[in-house]
Amino acid sequence: MKIHYITGICALFVVAIHILMRVIMPYNMSLEYENVVMNYHNIFYAILLEIILVLIAIHGFNGLRIILIELRQNTAWEKSMTILTIIGMISIIAYGTRTIIIGNGLEI
């Protein structure tokens, strides 16, 4: 349960940094195509997006795992839900990382 609290609090701080980066320039300018592409080519911004992706995926899938475990109370169910949510989390992180790498302009 501690990992759920830690990822939630860390995600709040990292998303706050992300929002502050959006507020630096006027809102309509921050969403212009050139500025979005420029942000994705900034390695600090790409790392920030990756951290957000990992924290939110861990937090979300751990919350889903907790909800699913409460549906049934046996060891086999708990193990299968843990494995299922870890597979889902890794899949989402892999796909999101791929998207961030492509957005950054790197070749896979």
Identify whether the C-beta of residue 54 lies closer than 8 Å to the C-beta of residue 34. no
Residue 105: its pLDDT value, please? Answer: 80
Give the closest residue to 104 by CA, choosing from 42, 22, 21, 35. 42
| pLDDT at 48 (0 to 100) | 92
CB burial class (10 A; 0-12, 13-18, 19+) of residue 79? exposed
At 34, which amino acid appears?
E
Tokens of 100: 């961030």
Query: What's the pTM value of the predicted model, to 2 decimals?
Result: 0.85
Domain ranges (residues) in the chain? 2-104
Per-10-residue mean pLDDT, the chain, length 108: 90 92 81 84 90 96 93 92 96 95 76
